[in-house]
Chains A and B, each alone.
Chain A
Amino acid sequence: MFYSLSLYFSLTIFVLGLLYKISNWFRYSIGIEGSGIPTSARIIAAVRGIITTLFSSKIITLLRVFILDVILQARTFREDFSRWLMHMCIYGGFMLLLLMHALSKFTTAILFADYYSTLNPFLFLRDLAALLMILGLFLAMFRRYFRKGWRPATNAMDLYAILILAVIMISGILLEGAKIVSPTVFQSMVQEYLIQPDEEQIRSLSSYWVQEFGAVSPSLEGPFDSKVLQEGRVIHEMNCMQCHSRPQWGVAGYAVSRLMKPMAEELDRADLPATLWYLHFLACFLGLAYLPFSKMFHIFASPLSLMANAVMDRNTSAPANIATKQILELDACVHCGACTQRCSVAVAFGEIPNVNILPSEKIASLKALAAGRNLSSRELRTVQQGLFLCTNCNRCTLVCPVGIGLRDLWVSARELLLQRSLPESLLLSPFSLYRGLTQEFIGQTRYRNPLDLIRNAIAAGFPQEQGRDPSSPFGFGEKALLSGLNASIQANSFSHCYGCMTCSNACPVVRNYAKPGDVLGLMPHQLMHAIGLRQWDLVFESMMLWNCLGCYQCQENCPQNVQVTEILYELKNVAVSRIDKKSA
């Protein structure tokens, strides 16, 4: 009764959770593709997309991906063998146990007429699957906690996934062990399967089971008379053997039962089998009910992500479907960290403590954004910086085991975020190259607005903070700037400038304009001079800084060996932290 009640209760939560999560795929959006498309249109587009795909030659691609990448997990295999092995153990064991054990009523019992859970090969296979899973979980823990090399931190959800499976597995094995050595369980089975046995028969059978199968009987002690054993064997062969293989075949449970044997009677009196039984099925039901809200939801989302990404791309698919796919992808992520391990710029995290730089950690922020959670403008800027500090090298996409189109996801999400009018200083760096090259995809208005915003933020100037030294750009004295200059070579060499203008004449940017001063503000030689005069407002408002190519013509040609380019780089670094601080 309690069992069915809790089963139906958790099943209800599971189904409702599933519906809720799937509805999110059509209700939420995270990128520019989805903005302004109502849920109904998204659902219609999805149905249409699925039907046209299923009735096209793409069905072959889907089948191939399903076999190679979903079932055999070839993507994971190619990238990281030990991750593949770990996951295959867990996933293989899980599927076997789910289909042959948890759902045995609907699968094995129907497929095999003579199915008994206590009969081989089912008995052995069940334990084998459990052992595989435990091995996989062990590898997962090892990879997360003991392996050398950097990987993203394990979060609560990662730990939950490992723990819930571990509890289910361990309780199941303990339960099997406890039943093997439980006299009560033995008695009840005798009652159930033997037809009106007398004391003598029970004694013989018990003796045989104690001797041969490691069962425990409180009143019996070996060595047994061979005649008794012989009689026990006959009774066993007549009544038990058809549906019970040697318990030794339940290798894991049997091994555990050997450890329990010395205290078997105490454990039995404490009703251990029943306790473990409750623990086992309640853990299963908890896992089931919580599945849609946990990382385990990837069981559904990841295969869909793999298949969707195999037949969709942002150039040919309907924007509504791309938007839907992106939310699905957020659910498909298992936080394995493969993307971060291969990320071109993850290394920057060592100097810029923003976890959103790491692709595997961006996903959590995108989930919050997609769900419409209210983030402060400071949090939004952090996410935006993380999304923009990306070379678009696409390595994350190529290594993602669940096939998420990560680069497209970053691009799409960052462009939507950039429309929120938070100035982004990284736009003024070569990180913008990919954006420039793909501006047609972004759309002209959406492309230009953020650039205008950051330029205006610079042009608005840098009013001196009150109560600070007005001659200082940062409030902590220009000494820090001039001597430190982040140790770029001889950056204080500006003082050697004698204003010959060679740098400005060598500058291809300056030479591009008839009246460079009008467009650029201070030219390089003037910048060197203004630094000497501590005219920081002029220095930092000069658009020359942001139109500098970093081509080193100025520095190479300087007769005084002034490190003009290095100084411009340094000023840009300072200006960026000023802009970021000002608009924080």
Chain B
Amino acid sequence: MGPGQYTASTHAVLNKLGIEFLNLKEFNCCGYPLRNFRFRAFLLASVRNLAIAEKRALDIVTMCNCCYGNLKYAEHLMKEESALRDEINATLAREGLHYEGGIAPKHVLQVLYDDIGIEQLQANLKKTYRGLKIAVHYGCHILRPSKITQFDHPCAPTKFDQLVSITGAESVPWLTKLECCGSPLMGVNDDLSMDLTEKKLANAREAGADYLCVSCPYCLTQFDRVQNMMLSRRGSKVLLPSMLYTQLLGLCLGIDPQELRMEMNKLPITGIQQFLSENGQKRDHH
């Protein structure tokens, strides 16, 4: 079956930009689903990943907001709470691991924005969009709690919008931009989860967006797969197809749509290629 669109498109983009990375088999789940259930189990899971990265002297890059938020949170606790750190380390010691501190988990958006930088990124673009309107969805755990995640301003963030803007697309302002996608309640309270998703999609559509752009696999699952479920379950129409930022950017970097697994999205997004034009060329669009 091969990797999903998030893995495939992130790898393709990082490769194109010359970022070296490894996929460590030893990594485990960040522990996010365990937080409702057993805080300590969540923390152990997160810190184990940090310890593995530390042992191999590597940085951690996540493709997921929830992984990012939770690893940052665990890192923060390890720094602040020395007693807790000792206890977690005692458990990790059973498999010969130890976390000293100092790993700063990064979201892939941070790698693009902070490490590569807007200008450098722009210089790599082969094509840009014309007349494309994008509703940017930040997602919760990259922004909040802002004291810990420290990605961007929690109420007026701009980094993701800038990253979208350099592709030539317009980032439209919309009402529920900073709200949750609804994914955490999918499977728990489907009606509520879908209500939240539907509201966001409707808002983005009203704002004139052609596509929704996300930076987290949970958000994509919600806006793509769950929206697709809503079509039959709620009899609703497709409100707005969604895509990953790495897919949006990947096309501009000249990466083949198949390599970005565009066709894996349940709601078709391949139409976005109509908005693409070679850099420097002018092109009219509807």
**Residues of chain A having any CB pair with chain B under 8 Å:** 148-150, 342-348, 350-352, 389, 391, 393, 425-437, 439, 451, 486-489, 508-509, 512, 546-547, 549-553, 555-556, 565, 569-570, 572-573, 576
Q: How far is the CA of A431 from the CA of B229 in the complex (A)?
A: 19
Q: From A432, A437, A488, give the contact of B225 (CB < 8 A).
A: A437
Q: Assess whether B221 is in contact with A348, with CB atoms less than 8 Å apart.
A: no
Assess whether B58 is interfacial by the CB under 8 Å rule: no
Interface string of B102-124 (1 = CB under 8 A from A): 00000000000000000000000
- Distance to closest chain B CB from A304 (angstroms): 23
Q: Assess whether A552 is in contact with B186, with CB atoms less than 8 Å apart.
A: no
Q: Assess whether B95 is in contact with A150, with CB atoms less than 8 Å apart.
A: yes
Q: Which 5 A-B pairs have the closest CB atoms?
A: A436-B187, A432-B187, A552-B144, A551-B180, A344-B29
Closest to B145 in A: A552
Q: How far is the CA of A553 from the CA of B145 in the complex (A)?
A: 8
Q: How far is the CA of A439 from the CA of B186 in the complex (A)?
A: 11
Q: How far is the CA of A344 from the CA of B67 in the complex (A)?
A: 13
Q: Assess whether A573 is in contact with B38, with CB atoms less than 8 Å apart.
A: yes
Q: From B45, B48, B154, B192, give the contact of A547 (CB < 8 A).
A: B192
Known: A346-B28, A509-B192; 14 extra A-B contacts, CB below 8 A, are: A347-B29, A347-B45, A350-B41, A350-B92, A389-B37, A429-B37, A435-B187, A436-B187, A437-B225, A487-B83, A547-B188, A549-B180, A551-B180, A556-B145
Q: How far is the CA of A391 from the CA of B45 in the complex (A)?
A: 13
Within 8 A of A (CB), among B34-81: 34-41, 44-45, 48, 76-77, 80-81
Q: Assess whether A551 is in contact with B140, with CB atoms less than 8 Å apart.
A: yes
Q: From A345, A425, A509, A549, give the contact of B140 (CB < 8 A).
A: A549
Q: Assess whether A347 is in contact with B44, with CB atoms less than 8 Å apart.
A: yes
Within 8 A of A (CB), among B117-173: 140-141, 143-146, 154-155
Q: Assess whether B180 is in contact with A508, with CB atoms less than 8 Å apart.
A: yes
Q: Assess whether A549 is in contact with B182, with CB atoms less than 8 Å apart.
A: yes
Q: Tell me which residues across on chain A come within 8 A of B31, comparing CB atoms.
A: 347-348
- Distance to closest chain A CB from B69 (angstroms): 8
Q: From A348, A487, A547, A549, give the contact of B77 (CB < 8 A).
A: A487
- Distance to closest chain B CB from A437 (angstroms): 6
Interface of A is mostly: helix
Q: From A428, A439, A551, give the contact of B36 (CB < 8 A).
A: A428
Q: Tell me which residues across on chain A come within 8 A of B77, comparing CB atoms.
A: 487-489
Closest to B46 in A: A347
Q: Assess whether A556 is in contact with B39, with CB atoms less than 8 Å apart.
A: no
Q: How far is the CA of A76 from the CA of B229 in the complex (A)?
A: 38
Given A512-B196, A569-B39, A573-B38, decide whether A432 and B45 contact each other with a Cβ distance below 8 A.
Answer: no
**Residues of chain B having any CB pair with chain A under 8 Å:** 25, 28-29, 31-41, 44-45, 48, 76-77, 80-81, 83-84, 91-92, 94-96, 140-141, 143-146, 154-155, 176, 179-180, 182-190, 192-193, 195-196, 199, 218, 221, 225-226, 229
Q: Tell me which residues across on chain A come within 8 A of B189, comparing CB atoms.
A: 546-547
Residue of B28, B29, B187, B195 with most chain A CB atoms under a 10 A cut-off: B187
Closest to B184 in A: A549
Q: Assess whether A429 is in contact with B144, with CB atoms less than 8 Å apart.
A: no
Q: Assess whether B39 is in contact with A437, with CB atoms less than 8 Å apart.
A: no
Closest to A506 in B: B179
Q: Tell me which residues across on chain B come within 8 A of A148, comparing CB atoms.
A: 96
Q: Tell me which residues across on chain A come within 8 A of B80, comparing CB atoms.
A: 489
Q: Tell me which residues across on chain A come within 8 A of B35, comparing CB atoms.
A: 429, 550, 569
Q: Assess whether B185 is in contact with A547, with CB atoms less than 8 Å apart.
A: yes
Q: From A344, A486, A551, give the contact of B39 (CB < 8 A).
A: A486
Q: Assess whether B144 is in contact with A345, with CB atoms less than 8 Å apart.
A: no
Q: Assess whether B182 is in contact with A487, with CB atoms less than 8 Å apart.
A: no
- Distance to closest chain A CB from B135 (angstroms): 17
Q: Tell me which residues across on chain B come within 8 A of A512, comparing CB atoms.
A: 192, 195-196, 199
Q: Tell me which residues across on chain B come within 8 A of A348, comparing CB atoms.
A: 31, 34, 38, 41, 44-45
Q: Tell me which residues across on chain A come within 8 A of B187, comparing CB atoms.
A: 427, 430, 432-437, 439
Q: How far is the CA of A572 from the CA of B38 in the complex (A)?
A: 9
Q: From B36, B84, B92, B95, give the contact of A429 (CB < 8 A).
A: B36
Q: How far is the CA of A346 from the CA of B41 in the complex (A)?
A: 10
Q: List 12 A-B contacts (CB under 8 A).
A: A344-B29, A345-B33, A346-B28, A348-B44, A348-B45, A350-B91, A436-B186, A546-B189, A551-B184, A552-B143, A556-B155, A565-B145
Q: How far is the CA of A551 from the CA of B181 in the complex (A)?
A: 9
Q: How far is the CA of A552 from the CA of B80 in the complex (A)?
A: 20
Q: How far is the CA of A149 from the CA of B83 in the complex (A)?
A: 25
Closest to B182 in A: A549
Q: Assess whether A351 is in contact with B184, with CB atoms less than 8 Å apart.
A: no
Given A352-B38, A508-B196, decide whether A149 and B96 contact each other with a Cβ distance below 8 A.
Answer: yes
Q: From A488, A509, A551, give the contact of B144 (CB < 8 A).
A: A551
- Distance to closest chain B CB from A578 (angstroms): 13
Q: Tell me which residues across on chain B come within 8 A of A550, comparing CB atoms.
A: 35-36, 140, 184
Q: How far is the CA of A486 from the CA of B87 in the complex (A)?
A: 12
Q: How far is the CA of A122 from the CA of B28 in the complex (A)?
A: 49
Q: Assess whether A428 is in contact with B28, with CB atoms less than 8 Å apart.
A: no
- Distance to closest chain B CB from A573 (angstroms): 5
Q: Assess whether A427 is in contact with B145, with CB atoms less than 8 Å apart.
A: no
Q: Assess whether A343 is in contact with B145, with CB atoms less than 8 Å apart.
A: no
Q: How far is the CA of A391 from the CA of B144 in the complex (A)?
A: 24
Q: Assess whether B179 is in contact with A508, with CB atoms less than 8 Å apart.
A: yes
Q: Assess whether B33 is in contact with A430, with CB atoms less than 8 Å apart.
A: yes
